């Protein structure tokens, strides 16, 4: 059985005259926890945007479950969840409304409408916000009024509520204190058991700068100037690898 979840075939992305991603080939298998390393400006965010379909590559093919991304329907595409580096919350909605946005894909228009009127149920949203250690006094506060770390966790809760098994996270530990980092890391990497019947393992690709957090990952990918320099098991990571990319 082929258990490749996401696949990049010869991906290049050009912005004006800059080649930001350069011929990237990558296979992400089901259940893999991958850390994406690379210095600032190396193309991590761009790679993640290509993986979730936000950026159309100039060249190459993105495949999800062995099918070309463009041919998939909405429901299938929604199986990926993303935590953005710049969070991308809706600033003038409340924290709980933003978290509920994660449920929009599996609900109808009426749910979206009730969410805006504050008459939908926030039970699930609150559950995930609590897991992210968000205090209930901020549930109905607008995003603009939150601190950096609070915003970060609202974005994380919005992703978790999607209960998706494919996670793309771009520096999700920004703005968090050491204790919170451990909590959040476990939440992000633990398996999701949506239907309570069969356990499907979580696949995660996490861009990060903190080398001390690598222990929980199976694989490490190093990227520099839009090129993959190494794609190896974590146990095989040597100092020389890191010297190449930093």
Ligand X SMILES: Nc1ncnc2c1ncn2[C@@H]1O[C@H](COP(=O)(O)OP(=O)(O)OP(=O)(O)O)[C@@H](O)[C@H]1O
**Least CB distance from residue 93 to other proteins, whole Å?**
7
Task: Return the number of the residue (33 or 44) whose C-beta is nearest Mg ion.
Answer: 44
- Give me the sheet containing 33-37, strands edge to edge: 80-83, 166-170, 203-207, 33-37, 219-224, 227-233
Pick the stretch among 25-33, 52-60, 220-228, 237-245 that binds other proteins (CB under 8 A): 52-60
The token duo for 64 is: 């999800």
219: closest CA among 205, 240, 209?
205
From CA 42, how far away is CA 20, in angstroms rounded?
Answer: 8
Question: Is 95 buried (19+), middle (13-18) or exposed (0-12) by CB count in 10 A?
Answer: buried
Length of the chain, please?
A: 246
Q: Decide: is 111 part of the binding site for other proteins (CB under 8 A).
A: yes
Q: Decide: is 68 part of the binding site for other proteins (CB under 8 A).
A: no
Q: Decide: is 165 part of the binding site for other proteins (CB under 8 A).
A: no
From CA 204, how far away is CA 63, in angstroms rounded?
Answer: 16
- The residue from 22, 29, 30, 85 that contacts Mg ion (CB under 5 A) is 85
Q: Decide: is 45 part of the binding site for Mg ion (CB under 5 A).
A: yes
**Least CB distance from residue 8 to ligand X, whole Å?**
14
**Least CB distance from residue 159 to other proteins, whole Å?**
9
Task: Return the number of the residue (104 or 131) whose C-beta is nearest other proteins.
Answer: 104
- The residue from 19, 105, 189, 192 that contacts other proteins (CB under 8 A) is 105
Backbone angles phi, psi at 168, to 5 degrees: -115, 120
**Least CB distance from residue 138 to other proteins, whole Å?**
16
Site of interaction with other proteins (CB under 8 A): 52-54, 74-75, 77-78, 80-82, 84, 86, 88-93, 101-102, 104-105, 107-109, 111-113, 115-119, 162
């Amino acid at each position: 059985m082929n258990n490749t979840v996401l696949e990049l075939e010869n991906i290049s992305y050009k912005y004006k005259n800059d080649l930001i991603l350069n011929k990237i080939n990558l296979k992400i298998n089901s259940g893999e926890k991958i850390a994406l390393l690379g210095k600032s400006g190396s193309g991590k965010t761009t790679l993640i945007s290509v993986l979730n379909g936000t950026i159309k590559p100039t060249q190459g093919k993105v495949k999800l479950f062995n099918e070309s991304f463009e041919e998939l329907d909405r429901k299938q595409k929604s199986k990926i969840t993303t935590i953005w580096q710049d969070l991308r919350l809706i600033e003038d909605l409340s924290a709980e409304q933003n978290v509920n946005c994660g449920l929009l894909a599996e609900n109808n228009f009426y749910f979206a409408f009730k969410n805006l009127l504050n008459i939908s149920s926030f039970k699930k949203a609150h559950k995930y916000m609590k897991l992210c250690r968000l205090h209930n006094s901020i549930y109905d506060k607008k995003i603009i009024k939150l601190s950096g770390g609070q915003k970060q966790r609202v974005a994380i809760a919005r992703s978790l509520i999607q209960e998706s098994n494919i996670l793309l996270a771009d520096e999700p530990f920004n703005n968090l204190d050491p204790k919170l980092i451990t909590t959040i890391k476990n939440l992000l990497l633990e398996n999701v058991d949506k239907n309570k019947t069969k356990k499907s393992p979580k696949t995660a690709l996490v861009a990060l700068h903190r080398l001390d957090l690598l222990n929980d990952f199976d694989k490490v990918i190093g990227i520099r100037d839009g090129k993959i320099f190494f794609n190896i098991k974590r146990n095989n990571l040597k100092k020389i690898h890191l010297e190449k990319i930093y």
